[in-house]
Amino acid sequence: MNSTFTRFRVQTASPLEPIKAWHVISPEQDIQSIEDLTGNIIQTLGLAEVDGEIILELDGFALLPSSPVGVVRDGDVVTVRCKSRPDKRKATDVTTTPTPAPVNEPVVATQVKASVPIAPAKNANKNKRKGFDKDMATTVATRITYGAPTPSAVSVEPSARVNSPALPTAAIKSRYTHYHVVPPSQLNALPSNVIVTSVDVEAVNGMEGVGEWFDGANRVAEENKPPANDESQPKSNTTSTKIDWEVVDSEWERLWDSFPAVEQATWNSLQAGTLLAYLGLAIDPVTCTPCSKIHVARVVSGPSDGKAECFFIDRPGAGDVGFGFGGKFEITPEAQDMEDEESGETRSVAFAEVREWKMVP
C-alpha cells in the first residue's frame, strides 16, 4: 500500500439508491484487498442492510475479491452493484404410496387404453345412399351423343354385351380446338389517344404456316385455289432499270458535287423513270455503324398538284440490319425471286422536300 492517500469516485447502480461521492483510503486503515475495500465502502455508504451481494466494478468489469487494492488508482470510477441472491427452493412432500385400484377394475399396471380414438358414426358419408356400391356393380353405362334423339331406357340387368357397329370415319369430328386469344389492342375499350403497335413473334420469314391463324375450311380452299396468272399483271415502272449499288457507293460519291441540283424548272418537267439522289443516314451492314450514304428514288409520275410520286429504293442489306427483326431462317424459291426485284416504298413528295436533292445524269 502506498504511503499517500488514494482518492477515487464511487457511484451506485440500480436497484441501489443513486449515490455519487469521492472516497478516500489511507494507509492507516489497513486495506489490503478488494474484499476489504468492499466492506469499507459498504460501511461508509450505509449499505449493510441491503439484501444481496455487493460487488465492485471498474470500467464495466468486476473486481475480484482476492485482487490487491492497488488496482484502484487515483481518479478511477468504481461502480457499486447489488447482485441478488437466488431464492432457495422449498422442500415438497413426495408421496410414494400408489393409489389403490378400484374394486371392479384391474390393477393400473394391467389396464390397456386405445391409443387412437374410434371414429364416431356421425363422420360417415350421409350423401351416399344405402346399397350404392351394389347398384353401381350392375349398372351399364349409356353412351350419350349430343344432337341425336334421346335413346330408350337401357335395362340394368346383367345381360350379354353386344358390340355396337363402328361409326363411319366421316361422321367423327376432331376434338382439336384452336383457341384464338384476342389481344386488348383489338378491343374497342382503349382510349382514342392510345396507339398500340404489335409484332407477330411467331412469324418467321420463309416458313409457311408459322404465325398464321389456323382455319381448316379456309386453308383447304386456299390450297385448292388455282394459282394466279402472274403474266397477266403488268410490272411496275419502278423496276425498269436496276440500280448498281457498287457504282453508287464509288462513282456517284466521287462525282456527287458535279451532279445538277433539282431546280423549279427541272421539277416541273420531271418524267417517269428519272433518278433522283439525296444524302441520308444509313447503317453500314459491315460495321453496323451509322453513316451518310446516297439514297436513290425513281420518279413514277410527274408533278401533279405540286407533288410528284417517287419510288424510294431500299439499299441492299438494309432489311437484314436490325435489332431483333429481319433474320431469315430459310431461303425459298419465292424469296430468291424477290431478291431479283428492287424493294422500297412509293410516296408523294413536294418540291420543298427535294431542294437539296440532285439529278442523276
DSSP codes joined into one string, 122-164 = GGS-SSS-TTHHHHHHTPPPPP--TTSPPPPPPP-S-----PP
Say if residues 54 and 39 touch (Cβ distance below 8 Å).
no
- 69 has pLDDT over 60: yes
- 13 has pLDDT over 50: yes
Say if residues 313 and 298 touch (Cβ distance below 8 Å).
yes
Say if residues 349 and 310 touch (Cβ distance below 8 Å).
yes
Q: Can you give the pLDDT at residue 233? A: 39
Between β-strands 20-25 and 6-12, what pairing exists: parallel, antiparallel or unpaired? antiparallel
| pLDDT tier, 9 (very low <50, low <70, confident <90, very high otherwise) | very high
Q: Can you give the pLDDT at residue 79? A: 92
CA distance between the termini of the chain? 119
* pLDDT average, residue stretch 183-196: 74
Tell me the one-letter amino acid at 234: P
- 253 has pLDDT over 80: yes
* pLDDT average, residue stretch 270-277: 88
pTM above 0.75, yes or no: no
**56 Cα distance to chain centroid:** 61
* pLDDT average, residue stretch 290-296: 87
Best CA proximity match to 41, nearest among 67, 11, 70 = 11
Q: What are the sequence ranges of the domains in the chain?
A: 6-83, 237-359
Mean residue pLDDT of the chain comes to 73
Q: Can you give the pLDDT at residue 236? A: 39
Q: Find cell 341425336 and name the residue.
A: 148
| pLDDT tier, 1 (very low <50, low <70, confident <90, very high otherwise) | very low
Q: Can you give the pLDDT at residue 326? A: 44
Looking at 3.40.50.2300, 3.40.50.300, 3.10.20.90, 3.30.70.270, the CATH number of the domain 6-83 comes to 3.10.20.90
Least confident segment among 198-207, 270-279, 309-318: 198-207
Q: What is each CA distance from 80 to 13, 15, 16, 36, 130, in whole angstroms? A: 6, 11, 9, 14, 85
Q: Can you give the pLDDT at residue 171? A: 47
Task: Give residue-wise pLDDT tens across range 195-212.
Answer: 776 666 655 555 555 445
DSSP E strand boundaries for the chain: 6-12, 20-25, 53-58, 61-62, 77-83, 275-283, 290-304, 307-313, 344-350, 358-359
